[in-house]
Amino acid sequence: MKRLALLCMTAWLSGCAVQPGDTSGGNVAAQTTPDSEARQRARTFTELAAAYYGRAQYKIALEELRKAITVDSRFSPAYNIYGLIYMELAEDKLAEENFRRAIDLDRADSEARNNYGWFLCTRGRYDEGLEQFAAALRNPLYPQPEVAIANAGQCAEMKGDLALAEANLVKSLKLQPDNPGTLLRLAGLRLRQGRLPEARRLLARHDELVPPSAASLWLGVRVERKLGDRAQEAAYGLQLRKRFPDSNEARLLLAGQYE
């Protein structure tokens, strides 16, 4: 999912790539340096692409990325954004090619490794994804290690390794105690583990920080149901039906599919 913190991007987001074999801008790139005018233009186009990506305006974002690689085809952040867009469009082959291109151009690109790791995990390639998160974290200059750690935690949970998931999510929260996404992930894990008071506490902290989402309300329903608090369960359920009537969570609630 694009909105997950897992796909976080730094101030000048990392980029993505064109299809392998595209040589547009290749002659220019051969002459560019990180501080060149061409590199700065590529950075600007990539920042614009990232902004359009964030608004789900993928066609315009792709146009900006084509401009970026035309002026500097070796600007790795552009390929990272390409990967994110193609991932969102379910163009898995192109997404993977672009993430790998970003990493090939800059082995220390932890943003690209984090995003590629999440791509792999969402495609069921858990061990490969965990390897990418580990590689991202080996970079001592990575400004947001808590993001890759949290994503590794969710990936481990998806794999079924709850011990590894717990270790990563707890570590991520220590680095960033008020991250709503990580709080919600750990609350969900605590529910799976049967540690219900902790799940309730983490969910309450999440709700103090951000407005409720369909996911958080649905988690609240299930936690309170397990704890036997029918009034609070009903309150969560009512909010879920009113705020997010068309959500998958609301459909599960109406169908009584709590597990």
pTM across the whole model = 0.83
State pLDDT tens for residues 156-202.
Answer: 999 999 999 999 999 999 999 999 999 999 999 999 999 999 999 99
State pLDDT tens for residues 121-140.
Answer: 999 999 999 999 999 999 99
> HEC states along the chain?
CCCCHHHCCCCCCCCECCCCCCCCCHHHHHCCCCCCHHHHHHHHHHHHHHHHHHCCCHHHHHHHHHHHHHHCCCCCHHHHHHHHHHHHCCCHHHHHHHHHHHHHHCCCCHHHHHHHHHHHHHCCCHHHHHHHHHHHHCCCCCCCHHHHHHHHHHHHHHHCCHHHHHHHHHHHHHHCCCCHHHHHHHHHHHHHHCCHHHHHHHHHHHHHHCCCCHHHHHHHHHHHHHHCCHHHHHHHHHHHHHHCCCCHHHHHHHHCCCC
* Residue 20 in this model has a pLDDT that exceeds 70: no
* Residue 24 in this model has a pLDDT that exceeds 50: no
Closest among 208, 201, 190 to 153, alpha carbons compared: 190
Supply the mean pLDDT for the chain: 89
